[in-house]
Each structure stands twice: as C-alpha cells, then as structure tokens.
Structure 1
Amino acid sequence: MLHSLYNVVVQLWSRQRSAVLRGDSMSTIDRRTLLAAGAAAATATTALAACGSNSSGGSADGPLQFVGSGDANQGGGYAAMVKKYKEETGVDIEIVDVPYDDLATKVSNAAKANDLPAIARMPSLDPAWLDRTVDLADIVKEVKPVDGMYAADADGKIPSLPSDLTAVGMFLNKDLWDKAGVSYPTSFEDKVWTWDEFVEAATEVREATGVKFSMAMDRSSHRLNSFLYQFGSEGIALSDDMTSYSANDETAPALEYFVGLNDDKFMPRSVWLSEDDPNAMFKTGQVAAYYSGSWQIADFAANITDFEWVSVPMPAQPEQATNFGTAGVVVVFEGTGQEDKALDFVRWLYSAKNYAEISRISGFLPAVQDIEVTYDTRAEDFALYNEAIAATPAFVKTQKANELKLQASGEAAPVDGDPLRDGIVKVINGETTVDEALTSAVEQLNESLA
C-alpha cells in the first residue's frame, strides 16, 4: 500500500510539472492538493526505505520487489510483463517506480541498510552494491545479449543484463519544414546532410516560419558525444586497458562548433544554462528540430497531436554516427532470500517471445540478439535508429564495452556531476574556454581511475 501511495504522489507531482511546462494554471491540481501530496511523499518515501528486500527480516514468500524508474512513461512494459508472469506462474512481483533523480541514491542507501530489493533496473552499475549482485553468466549464455552491452569482472562474474538499447537521433517538426519548402533526408539511402548543410536548412526554416529556434538539444554529454563523433572525435575515450581517458584533436573544434550554435537563435541557451525542457519546446512547436533519441518515440506518438513529426538521419561531418548503449541494467540482488525466484523471472523475461513483447510495449530497441519486434506504431522510426546504430563506427561499441568493463570491475571512483557537460555549460555562459573545459573534464575522469 505504501508503494502505491508513493507512486500516486509521484504521478501527482509529474502531472503538475507537465502542466507547468504546457503553460497551464495551477487549477489542474490545486495548491492544497500539492501540499498534501508533499506531506504524503515524505511519509511514503520513509516507508519505502524501510520495506525493501527480505534481508531485514521480511518473509521470503512475499512479493518480489522490482525497483526501477519511468516504466509508466515507457508504456508500462514491465508492469504488463509482471502481470503476465503472475498469470502464468502465480508469483507476485511488485513494481516500485522511483523518480529517476532519486533512484541511484535510494538503492545505494538500501545497500547500506542491508535492505535491497530482489531485482532492479538501474542506470548503471554502482560500487555501493556491485558486490551484492548475483552472477547472471548462465542467463547471458542462454539469451545472448548484444555483444559489448554487458561485461564480466576479473573473476568472470556478469553482474547485469542490458535492459534495452538507446540511441541518439534527430526529430523534425515536419509541418514547419514542409511549410518552409525545405527538403530533408529521410533515410540513409538519401544523401545525408553535413552539419553545415543542416544549419543552413534549419535556419531557413526558422526564418521562413517564424518559429522561435532552429534546434534544441538535450542537456547531456550523451547527446553531445554523438555530436562529437559526427565531427571525427571519439569524445573523451577510455583506453582499452582502462587506465586513462583522452580526447583526440578533432574534439575541441567540434565543441567550439557546438558552443557557437547556442546563440539564442539557432539554439536556446536556456536549455543548457537553465535546464529548460527541450522536449516541451519541441512538443509545443517552438523548435524546428530536436536532437534527442529513440526513447522519445513513444511519448511523441502518444502526445503530439498538433503537428506531424518525423525522424531523420543526423548530420555527418564527415562521420555518420550515433551514440548508443544500454538504457539501463537489470540486476538481481543476493541476500533477499528470493534469489532463485528473481532469476526465474529474469530468465523468463529475456526469453525471445517475452523480450519481444516488452520491447513492443515499451518501445525498446532490443538489447538481445536476433529479436524481431513488431511495433504497434512508428515502426519506420525504430528501423531508422537500428540503421543508425549499424552505420556507426566500431569504436563507439568498443568504448561502451570498455566503460561497462570498468563498471563491472568496481575500480573507478564515482565522478561528481558530468564533467564534459558541466564544463561546456560554463563555456556557453562565458566563464571558461573550450580548451580549459576539455582539459578539466579529462583530468576529472582520470582522477576517478587513480
């Protein structure tokens, strides 16, 4: 019941945040309701921390807890699958949906309190609980995840499975581009534009239609790295022996190009400087193009009704590349008394039929080999992202594999913030230079390896 209360509270706050982004008034949820929700959240959050796994004395026969974030926003795939699993097996699994910004801290604190859930879908592996994970090597042999999207530690233990793949991509407001009479590529069989050509085209759309900005990009080094790859940079790359980070000569010029786009005409500075929401900007028709990724498809398909939108190949200057990797990792925790039941569910979930089903429901790019997904809608968008991944230089997959190996080793210290993103924010704000920001980011990442 407490988990249900917590989830209701989260939904109330989420609804109000969405209303604010749309410009709605407080009438959707009045202030009294929000204050009550805040009080309830404090109670529910405290209770959530006290009812994790069974290691603190709970019954091993109780429901398995599956902790994650954002399932409802991705179509409720995990909720649908645990319902199906209960119908087939009688085993009860409870989805505990935690706000994304709180997820890592809550599970880390649960590890310290010896109160971990049975299963979790996490953004990445965390040294705080890495040694509490069950070895999933046998399941990996059975289900065959995509190469490079999982890793073993020095002893051969595989602590996680990739939940799904995510890839960076570009969306256009089709109505605006058509109104301006500006053409754009729709497949990799077309002549894919360069960044110079795209900037010229998007600027023409802005000037012809009066839309506020040409493009917005998520405030994330994940998206920025994709941009860098397209200029021949390899981002800030971890060496194959996992002893150092470095950036090649193409990195600084690409960053200078990106900073120059943040001029409050082509791109709004407020996204990177003030964390304005670029998703909301695109959905409300304020930008002609949105540099984001595959996870937006389900949201746009469900919620954009005022204009037509389209996924297009990203520019190449000269490299055709996306940034892709695991959207999350699925782990099973030991010490709960429910390890065998949790492993049975994970094995069931990753069977070809069931994994294809959750991929369809949630709009996942599959992280398992040889899975064919029949999407309910926008199949052409998912196909374009899979083509983008296939066209991406091999070094990107190598980098992802190296980063996962580093996580699995547990040898790197946590890094505060996002060194590359945070440095570029300072450059856009005029506080430092690209060279200084890049040097600082490399130094911070190398210090984490010391």
Structure 2
Amino acid sequence: MKKVSIIALVVLLLGSMVFAAGAKEEATQGPKALKVMLSEEPSSEDALLNTLKDWAAETGNTIDVMVIPYEDQLTKFPLMARNNDLPDLISTTRLTRLYPDEFIDLGKEFDMSIFEPMAVEIIVQDYKSDKKANLPQQFTITNVYYNKDAFNRVGLVAPTVDNPWTFEELVKNAKLLKEKGGVKYGMAMDSSRARYDNLMYANGGSMVEKDGDSFVVTINSPQNIATLEAFIEWNNSFMPKAIWAGGSTDNPADYFRNGDVGIYFSGTWNYNTFYNEIKGMNWGVMPSPVGPAGPSAILGGSGLGVPANAKNKDLAIDFLKWFYTKENFQTYLNRDKGLSSLVGVTYSPADQQVAKDYKVLQSEVSKVSHAFSVDESSMWRNFYDNEYRDAMRQAVNGDISAAKALNDFAELLSKKSGWPLKY
C-alpha cells in the first residue's frame, strides 16, 4: 500500500512538472510584440500600418512602430546594429543594400518567383550577390500631379499619354500657372535627387556608362551640366527655391495639398495620401514630359527586411508569410492604390477617376530608361549619395556654378569608386 502511494505521488509530481513546463511554454509562445521601423510617420490611412493591424488582430500579437526619418536611418542603423538594439522588421529603400550582412537572406525563406521580376531587380537585387536581403513591399514609380483648378483658371488642358508635353511646353505653362493660375508656385519637385534625375535621363545624361565589366563616370557630361543650369533657372523663376537650395525642410507635397502648386513632380507613393486627404482642390495625374532623349521615369520602392540579430525575427518572417499571400496582399494593394509587386495580384479601382489616373501611372513604367538601369547596376550610391544632393543644393543656391558642382562630384566619385572620368 505504501509502495503504491509513493508511486502515485511520483506520478502526481511528474504530472505537475509537465503541467508547469507546459504552462511556461504556453506563456512563452503567447502574444508577442513585432517591432517595426518606418521612415516617416504613417497616416491613419497608411496601407502598411493598417495591414499590420489586421495581422495583429488575426494572430493576437501586437505591433510596436518606431519612426526614424530616412536620412537619420543611414547613421542610426549601424549604431543600433552595434548595440544589438534592432527592430524586427524594417521598411527601407537603402539599408539592405548598404548593410546586407545585417539582414536575413529572405531568398531562403520565400519562392522569389511569386514577385514581379522588375520589382525584384529594382528593390531587392544586390547586383553583387544573390542574397535577397528584403522583399518588395511598395513598388513605385515617379509621376507628375497637377492642380486641375489652376489649369482651369488659365484655360490649360492637361497633356495625355499619347500627347505629352515637351520640356519647353512644361516651362511655358509653369510660368503661366504662377502668373495667372492662382498658385504660389507654377511647379514644385520633391527634394530627392531621383526626381531631378528624370530631367537628366530625358536630356540624354547619366551618372555612369558601362565600360566592359566596369564603368566610367559621366555625371559631369555637357548634357548634365546643361540640365542643372536649366534646373537652376527653373528654381529662380517658378519653383519654391528654398526646397532645393537647402533653406527649408518643408515638404512640397504639403504645398500641393494646400493648392499652392500648379504642377508637382513626385511619385505614386503619394497617390493614396492625396486621394484620402485633399478635399478642397481638384487634382489629377498627367504623363511625364518628354526631353531630347525621350521621356523618363524611375522605378523604385521600399522593401521589407528582417535584421539577422532581431529579437523576434521569426515573428517577422511569420508576418511576411502572412502578408504575401494573395488575399492579404490584395487587401494591402487596394489600400495602397499602387503598382503590384506580386505576380497575379493587381489593383482594379472601382472609382472611375482613380481608374483613369491609374492608366496614366501604368504608362509611366514603359518610360524607364536604359541609362537608369545601368546607373542602378553600378550601385554608385554605395560610394557617395548625399554628396551629390549637396552639390546640386550649392548650385541651386548660387554658391557655385553647375559645372563646378558636377565636376567636383565626378572627381569624388571617380576617386572612391576607381572608375575613370569620361569628361
């Protein structure tokens, strides 16, 4: 009897231990917080934020969003990595290419054939290795918005896909809009060099040219110097000069929202925000103007990367697997109103005006130039990036000439990359 009691007690104790261990494991596997890093404060209508909220509600996990502006990410991320204080998921355009070793190779977790090849090439591909350090989130392209009310005031008809404006027509009409269109600025442009680069490509210029297995630096070509000289004149004549001269941190998108701009060079990433937030103005999308070398548009976008040393990297991968199902990505795309990076998933707007705008946006994809593809493949930004923007800022501000700005930057790039100068 005593022996039976001892056996029963042992069984009871073992059972208690198993129960306690199970309870501990269950607690460990309970709801977790996914720490997500974004480059700008998301609006209440932000497509990614709301999709993250859907995932959290469905899985019982939570999200912890941190915002570090794009420029600050370039300096703060290395410090975060050194201090082992990393987010679990990052929406980024640059970090995975600058610090590929800090990120998981998502090509080992996903079948990359589910993504549009161009999205993989532009957003994901490292060019120097086969590693896939991120997955395409927002597939974007540059485009031009216009203020319909200002156009109507001066009797302007927006250009069409079949009949785009030349740069000469753009300049003439931007001046007209400023003079008589009831706007403060005839034209505005994001303070991103990528928006300016469309002018460069349309005028026949480029950052580099292919030279066998390497490259030559061409940023200071006669075409590029002429383009920058024209851009300086535009800023002095009908653009908010402080944006490009470095005298203001204002976002020109806000100027357009407020009805202060006639023509706005930006990109598809602003479409959803404008659709939801602009109420006091009629606006639309127009095709990019055509230069001597033809039209130009730049594909880009952000990717989702998972730091290799993130605390909840497995949770981040779980989210990505949920996100890239066709059903969930369709929901995201409907909110984003952008181009799809997932094969077999497309955005089909019910709103007739959105559908009309979307056709113009889709037409921009065919305008991506070969020169842009060559520049991207060189990965020149890994040598210098902000320095290029700073050189243009000094030229727009009148501190130095266009020729000096580009000649000086060309020499910097040549020395650091080892590529010879063509000019």
Both structures adopt the same fold (TM-score exceeding 0.5): yes
* Structure 1 position 151, deviation (Å): 1.4
TM-score normalized by structure 2? 0.80
Answer whether contact 2:142 2:299 (CA < 8 A) is retained. Answer: no
1:98-137 equivalences in 2 (<5 Å) = 98-125=68-95, 129-137=99-107
Residue equivalent to 2:205: 233
Instruction: Judge conservation of contact 1:234–1:251 (CA < 8 Å) in 2.
Output: yes
Residue of structure 1 in register with 2:229 after alignment: 256
1:427 partnered with 2:400: no
Aligned in 2, Cα 1:261/1:86: closer, same or farther, shift over 3 Å? Answer: closer
- 1:278-315 deviation line (CA, Å, top 9, x unaligned): 22322222232112222222222222222211111121
**Contact kept in structure 1, 2:96 and 2:133, CA below 8 Å:** no
Superposed CA offset, 1:214-262 (max 9, x none): 2122222111001111212224567684655323442222222111212
Residue aligning to 1:53: none
Asked whether the 8 Å contact 1:74–1:362 carries over to 2, the reply is no
Paired position in structure 1 for 2:255: 281
Q: 1:46-85, aligned counterparts within 5 Å? A: 62-70=32-40, 72-73=42-43, 75-85=45-55
1:400 paired with 2:373, answer: no
1:445 to 396, 399, 413: 413
Task: Tell me the number of residue pairs that the alignment of Structure 1 and Structure 2 aligns.
Answer: 381
From 360, 371, 377, the equivalent of 1:384 is: 360
Query: What SS does structure 1 have at the residue aligned with 2:161?
Result: coil
SS in 2 for 1:111: helix
- 1:259 match: secondary structure: helix
Question: 2:376 and 2:185 mapped to 1: Cα distance?
Answer: 33
Equivalent position amino acid for 1:112 in 2? R
1:136–1:198 distance in 2 versus 1, CA, 3 Å: same
Shift of 1:352: 2.6
- 2:148 touches 2:283 (CA, 8 Å); kept in 1? yes
Distance 1:427 1:163, change over 3 A: same
| Aligned-partner Cα distance in 1 for 2:93–2:113 | 23
* 8 A contact 1:230–1:319 mirrored in 2: yes
Unaligned 5+ segments in structure 1 are 1-58
User: Could you tell me how far 1:372 is from its partner in structure 2?
Assistant: 0.4
Contact residue 148 and residue 282 of structure 2 kept, 8 A: yes
**Root-mean-square deviation over aligned CA pairs:** 2.9
Point out the more displaced range, 175-184 or 124-133: 124-133
Tell me the equivalent position of 2:218: 246
Q: Does 1:157 align with 2:131?
A: yes
TM-score (norm 1): 0.75
Structure 1 169/60 Cα, relative in aligned 2: closer, same or farther at 3 Å? same
Aligned to 1:48: none
Question: Which of 189, 194, 202 is equivalent to 2:166?
Answer: 194
**What CA distance in whole angstroms lies between the structure 2 residues aligned with 1:425 and 1:351?**
43
Summarize the alignment of residues 22-33 of structure 1 with structure 2, pairs less than 5 Å apart.
Answer: none
Deviations 1:328-355 (A, max 9, x none): 2211122335333322321221223322
Kindly indicate whether the alpha-carbon contact (under 8 Å) linking 1:283 and 1:300 is maintained by their aligned counterparts in 2.
yes
The answer on whether the counterparts of 2:96 and 2:134 sit within 8 Å (CA) in structure 1 is: no
The AA in structure 1 aligned to 2:115 is: K
Moved more, 275-284 or 286-295: 275-284
Q: Does structure 2 retain, via aligned residues, the 8 Å contact 1:135–1:157? A: yes
Q: 1:168 is matched with which residue?
A: 142
Partners of 1:228 and 1:251 within 8 A in 2: yes
Report the equivalent of 1:343: 317
Indicate the structure (1 or 2) with the bigger Cα radius of gyration: 2
Q: Which shifted more, 305-314 or 380-389?
A: 380-389
Q: 1:238 to 1:372 in 2, by over 3 A?
A: same
Distance change >3 Å, CA 397–CA 87, structure 1 → 2: same
User: Does the aligned pair in 1 maintain the 2:210–2:374 contact within 8 Å?
Assistant: no
Q: 1:382 to 1:115 in 2, by over 3 A?
A: same
Give the secondary structure class of the aligned counterpart of 1:188. Answer: coil
